[in-house]
Structure 1
Amino acid sequence: MSAESTPDPGIPDPVEIGPGRRCKGRRRKARSTRHKALLATAWTAAGVVVLGGTGAGWVYFKLNGNIKSVDINQALGADRPHKVDNGSENILVLGSDSRSGSNKKIGGGADDGSARSDTAMIVHIYEGHKKASVVSVPRDTLIDRPACTDTKGATYPAASDVMFNSAYSTGGAACAVKTVESISGLRMDHYLEVDFAGFQKLIDDLGGVPVTTTENIDDPQSHLKLKAGTHTLDGEQSLGLVRTRHAVGDGSDLGRIQLQQAFVKALIDRVEHVGVLSSPKKLYDLAVTATKTVTTDSDLGSVNALADFANGLKGIGSSHMKMVTMPVRYDPSDLNRVLVEKPKAQLVWKALKNDRPIPSSAVSGTAAGGAKGVVAP
């Protein structure tokens, strides 16, 4: 369930603040975020492939040809965290917006062919594949980005005190994985990326996602207006929900993450009911959209591999998924940025490395965003 989104007219484009150049003074007006494709759509897509990708012949080859993959292992080489052999898996799920074609039409902005990312999710699948923990990494977190090499062999120097989502805009998927591994000390076993336009179409193909809001939401910037109550959101409304930040909580990226996490669970619940659909065409359409929506690491770059992977996840429902945000605090020099609460974050990474539940003490008392509970469980 994110390299900056194009700001609204009249709102200055934010800049990264390097050492010695941190802004002082009052908090700026929160930036518009036009591009908030929900990251866990990639997980949903994998599940749909199981349903729609079981045919043979031309159906298989068509679906197989839709999947894009990147060789993360080749790009990163051996200088990575050690893989822990305890039956668990770590997956980096990332949302992206190519800023061209249908993405441009939906999100606005220049058709410059560039790629941008929004909030990342580290998905930890526990041994036995019956439960998972998901850690959202806020895009506005100031971090030290390691030197990295992209999948085309281009190299990029390390950078200090830059936004987390600059890793993807600098060197794509490989640099995003390298940065997450540097922050967490966890090896990412797989990579799943979902694009902006595909998210909207997948929600529409699913027939919408039911959610219950406990408060009215009226955000002209994300074009979402909902009264408190239960709604079945179509693709456009779903995008509005997961990108809104001005109408809920403290207006920060952290509040939006809370909405995204709640929507992820609603989306997973919705996908669990896809299996009862009796229309082969419906399942085929869903599989086509799903395979066009995701980019995977090379180990998952086929229908068979993605289906096997998804089969290993199908026992994990929303009630068996713990979702938290990486422990952070607001940057006192610029309240539009956050800093990692390193002692608490280490508790999160240690728990996942040892395939243990994340302790409540790791996420208590950290910056949250104030939007929790706006979308009811």
Structure 2
Amino acid sequence: MPADSTRGPGTPGGSGGTGPRHRAKGRRRKPPTGRRRALTAMAWTAVGIVVLGGAGAGFLYFKLNGNLRTIDINQALGGHRPTKADNGSENILVLGSDTRAGGNRKLGGGTDDGSARSDTAMIVHVDQGHKRAGVVSIPRDTLVDRPECTDAKGGTHAAAHDAMFNESYSTGGAACAVKTVESMTGLRMDHYLEVDFSGFRKLVDELGGVRVTTTRNIDDPRSHLDLKAGTHTLDGQQALGLVRTRHGVGDGSDLGRIQLQQAFVKALADQVKHLGVLTNPKKLYDLADTATKTVTADSDLGSVNSLIAFADGLKGISSSRMTMVTMPVRYDPADPNRVLLEKAKAAQIWNALRNDKPIPRTATEGTATGKASGVVSAAP
């Protein structure tokens, strides 16, 4: 948490496992008047993007602004970072966090000890014209070389070889997660957005649910999810179960869960564009209130006005203009529960994003998939 923030998230403790690996034995709008303005906030949720709206004026503005939590990534990381692209594009690191505390205790299945994990991670690349987006999901089980990093409280954490990617967040919080991604990709993350599980559930409920179609039954008691094949309007709890399940579909890996998350993001983005929330000021405000309580942003986005401007530049990006891929990986032969980066293929993605070009199909051909593609789609 930056020194000037009173609501910044606590830095998760613990250094994470960095010991030797062992071979596994098992398988693997316009406002109506000048005195009232529409407040539009872009919340990139634990599973992607959702455009939200709210009406605020006077004290309502200050209340919403006070909801926001911020973290000064630039101060924490200093000057040793990749150079910012000069082509007008932007990269945003989006994390979905499981804080294991407060409202997340039951959702996360852990204890109320304040520890935290990052269960979802996406690099969102917005092109120069803000008309298209490339989204690269990072499997949490990827073994990476985590660089030495300093968290937002000034604590230093040693570098680690073959550490799980999501340990970056649990070790040093947002700053360490950003530094790990920048070290791995060579790309500067211009912004950081984080949404917690509890807030994600509330957002879906306040949106009235999200319609999806499943091509097969999904039954995962661990995620409290039981869906028959067909079309459903998922409430917040069901949506949370869908984006967290890894045992109900595919090969049981995190890669299958990522495929479900990507399908849900597209369904969510399509639905939000058709909601008439701007005609209902109370619903508009409730959505904005929940969104601003849910989001943790980098300090450059840490105000309602900044979020409005950011969202306004993204409102033209529909699901048909999103390219969503999983970072190229292969299963670790020493442990099928872990994956290893396919560096040559990943380089194709990083180079495309750096040069503001489309992600080539060859970058993901022949890589591990999770075998859950096509199970979930947006309902007609």
Deviation at 1:218, TM superposition (A): 1.3
The match for 1:330 is: 331
Shift of 1:151: 1.0
The answer on whether the counterparts of 1:17 and 1:23 sit within 8 Å (CA) in structure 2 is no
Opposite residue 22 of structure 1, the aligned amino acid is: H
In the TM superposition, what whole-angstrom CA distance separates every residue of 1:129-166 from its partner, at most 9, and x where no partner exists? 00000000000000000001111111111000110000
Partner of 1:69, secondary structure, is: strand
Quote how far apart the aligned CAs of 1:170 are: 0.5
Match runs of 1:215-294 below 5 Å: 215-276=216-277, 278-294=279-295
Distance 1:259 1:297 in 2: 27
Distance in 2, matches of 1:27 and 1:339, equals 17
* Secondary structure class of the residue paired with 1:250: coil
Separation of aligned partners in 1, 2:45 and 2:306 = 23
Contact conserved, 1:67 with 1:301, CA < 8 A, in 2?
A: yes
Q: CA, structure 1 residues 255+308, in 2 after alignment: closer, same or farther (shift >3 Å)?
A: same
1:225 corresponds to which letter in structure 2?
A: D
Aligned residue for 1:196?
197
Query: 1:355 is matched with which residue?
Result: 356
1:216 offset after TM fit, Å? 1.1
Q: Distance in 2 between matches of 1:355 and 1:163?
A: 29
Q: How far 1:327 sits from its partner (Å)?
A: 0.2
1:209 has 2:210 as partner: yes
Matches within 5 A, 1:18-37: 18-19=19-20, 21-27=21-27
In structure 2, C-alpha distance between the alignment counterparts of 1:275 and 1:71, rounded to whole Å: 35
Give the AA of the match of 2:275: V
Deviation at 1:271, TM superposition (A): 1.4
CA distance in 2 between counterparts of 1:106 and 1:234 reads 14
| Residue 275 (structure 1) shift | 3.8
The equivalent of 1:39 in structure 2 is 46
Who is 2:322 aligned against? Answer: 321
User: Any gaps of 5 or more consecutive residues in structure 1?
Assistant: 1-14, 29-36
Cα deviation code 1:250-270 (max 9, x no counterpart): 111000000000000111112
- 2:304 is matched with 303
CA distance, structure 1, for counterparts of residue 364 and residue 307 of structure 2 = 32
Q: Which amino acid is 2:246 matched to?
A: R
**Amino acid of the residue matched to residue 156 of structure 1?**
H
**Residue 83 of structure 1: aligned partner:** 84
SS in 1 for 2:219: strand
Looking at structure 2, the residues matched to 282 and 119 of structure 1 have their Cα atoms a distance apart, in angstroms, of 28
Distance 1:113 1:165, change over 3 A: same
Instruction: Tell me by how many angstroms 1:330 deviates.
Output: 0.1
Question: For the Cα contact (< 8 Å) 1:38–1:239, is it kept in 2?
Answer: no
Separation (CA, whole Å) in 1 of partners of 2:101 and 2:18: 28
Cα 1:75/1:121, change in 2 over 3 Å:
same
Equivalent in the alignment of 1:163: 164
Asked if residue 143 in structure 1 is aligned to residue 144 in structure 2, the reply is yes
Secondary structure of the 1:90 match is strand
RMSD: 1.5
- Alignment deviations for residues 67-115 of structure 1 (CA, whole Å, 9 cap, x no partner): 0000000000000001111010000000112211111133332110112
Deviation at 1:277, TM superposition (A): 5.1
Alignment correspondent of 2:38 = none
In structure 2, how many angstroms separate the alpha carbons of the residues matched to 1:372 and 1:16?
Answer: 31
Distance 2:98 2:62 in 1: 26
Residues 277, 57 of structure 1: alpha-carbon distance in 2 compared, 3 angstrom cutoff: closer
Maintained 8 Å contact 2:352/2:359: yes
Pairwise CA distance, 1:272 = 1.0
Contact kept? 2:96, 2:120, Cα under 8 Å: yes
- Matched to 1:249, the amino acid is G
Identity of aligned residues (%): 72
